[in-house]
């Protein structure tokens, strides 16, 4: 009777019940998403898999299926905040405001 390797099944068992909430561009971004979720009480894991056909890595941030909706809200809220912050900084940098308009000639 051949022995079965349980080692190959551990990642599957660990990920059982987890679903992808978002895909990250790199490990740093995946870590930021994981931290954001965990700070908000949602357990998360990072699953990095090399995609065979394209030779690229796919980095998934995963949560338990029961917390998927909550995780989406947390991530989207953070993305909206980041977009707003980026917009306000961009607005300050593009200060084409002409100060001479308010100079009064006395």
Map out the domains of the chain as residue ranges. 15-93
Instruction: Please tell me the pTM assigned to this model.
Output: 0.62
pLDDT band at 78 (very low <50, low <70, confident <90, very high): confident
Helix (H, G, I), strand (E, B) or coil at 98: coil
User: Which 8-state DSSP code applies to residue 25?
Assistant: S
Phi then psi for 21, rounded to 5 degrees?
-100, -35
Q: What is the pLDDT of residues 52-75, one digit of tens each?
A: 555 567 899 999 999 999 999 999
Q: 57 or 47: which carries more pLDDT confidence?
A: 47
CATH number of this structure's domain 15-93, picked from the four choices 1.10.630.10, 3.40.50.1390, 3.30.300.130, 3.30.70.1530: 3.30.70.1530
* Termini Cα distance of the chain: 102
């Amino acid at each position: 009777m051949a022995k079965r390797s349980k080692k190959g099944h551990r990642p599957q068992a660990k990920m059982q019940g987890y679903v992808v909430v978002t895909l990250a561009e790199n490990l740093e971004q995946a870590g930021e998403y994981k931290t954001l979720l965990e700070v908000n009480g949602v357990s998360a894991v990072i699953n990095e898999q090399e995609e065979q056909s394209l030779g690229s890595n796919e980095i998934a941030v995963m949560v338990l299926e029961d917390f998927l909706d909550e995780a989406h809200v947390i991530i989207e809220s953070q993305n909206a905040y980041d977009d707003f912050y980026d917009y306000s900084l961009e607005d300050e940098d593009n200060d084409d405001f002409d100060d001479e308009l308010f100079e009064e000639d006395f």
